[in-house]
A = this chain, B = another copy of it.
Amino acid sequence: MNKFSIGVDLGGTNLRIAAVDEQGGLIEKVTLGTRISLGPEYVIGDMCEAIQRMSEKYRNGASLLGIGIGVPGIIDAQTGLVRESPNLPGFVDYPAGALIEQRLKTVVILENDANVAALGEKWLGAAKDYSDVAILTLGTGVGGGVVLGGSIWRGTNGMAGEFGHTTVEPDGQPCGCGNRGCLEQYASATAVVRMAREAIASNGASALARAAHSDPEFSAKSIYNLAMQGDEDARRIFRYVGRCLGIVLSTLVNSLNLPIYVIGGGVAGAWEAFSPSIFEELRRRSLVYAATAPHDPSATQEGASAHVVAGPGHKTIVTRALLGSDAGLFGAARLPMIAKARR
């Protein structure tokens, strides 16, 4: 009999649910709004109903392995407790896992959303052939996840992978976390827009200024489009994004010497604009990278997988994510499959 599991991406805006088979094939995917203003009980209720509807559809021909849920915030994966989530107010020390398990009578595994994205890219995406990978997710903020030996590396308190709060400029831009000069202040979508507004304020940056004035949703995407049209002010911003990512990646490469590092999230769509600066910084700042860089570091994943053989001659790959926002959904669906394999 075929087996499948259900992956959930519980975001602050959207609640996405997918049934996925053991080979990573998508069976069905639905997106609901997250009715966060009604409180966690409603959100969990909506989620359980949608999961139930979906699992009943496919339960005849196949068996459900369980449910995996990616949650933005600090999760106690062992107990299924949501400790804290900036995007899900109300979920404070909330026993989401236990409540859902009780209601649906199946295995439920919660995990941090950046961790499940890393697991998704490791299972089916850019890091498919690797058992060790770090992923940096450039969205509204900057998140991260680490997979070591094929499993999520949670750290002692389940807080590993906070790459967004790596200090890049010791006396730089203040960050909400209390630090100054965090990567998140230079490589998130929010940061790209802030840097564009700074450029407009300081030097006029005429094309950026026109776009900011005429485009009501002046976004990292609009700034990327200008960069691709050759606007020097916009290009400079993405070079700086790349420089800061390159500094953090240099530290990761020197410290962990993993075979592959993956850049995901919405801002990764601007890969063409910022990645040359990443490779420039890496070559200059990381002796480990300099010793292990592929001939063409910006080669596509197909090119990269020629280097899959591990060992002293193994190349260090830095590449963009392949699954987009589905990485988290697939990674979440993967959780009960891995848990099952371990039993």
Contact = CB atoms under 8 A, between A and B. Distances in A.
Interface of A: 76, 78, 83, 132, 144, 146, 148, 153-163, 165-170, 177-180, 243, 247-248, 250-252, 254-259, 284-288, 290-292, 310-314, 316
Given A292-B159, A310-B156, A254 B165 contact: yes
Contacts of A259: 156
A259 B160 CA distance: 11
Nearest to A178: B284
B287 A255 contact: no
Contacts of A144: 255
A169 B247 CA distance: 10
Contact of A255 (B83, B163, B170, B286): B163
Quick one: copies of this chain in the complex? 2
A177 B287 contact: yes
B284 A76 contact: no
A148 B312 CA distance: 20
Given A158-B257, A162-B257, A163-B255, 9 more contacts: A144-B255, A148-B148, A155-B257, A156-B311, A159-B257, A159-B292, A166-B251, A179-B284, A179-B286
Contact of A250 (B78, B153, B179): B179
B168 A256 contact: no
A95 B114 CA distance: 43
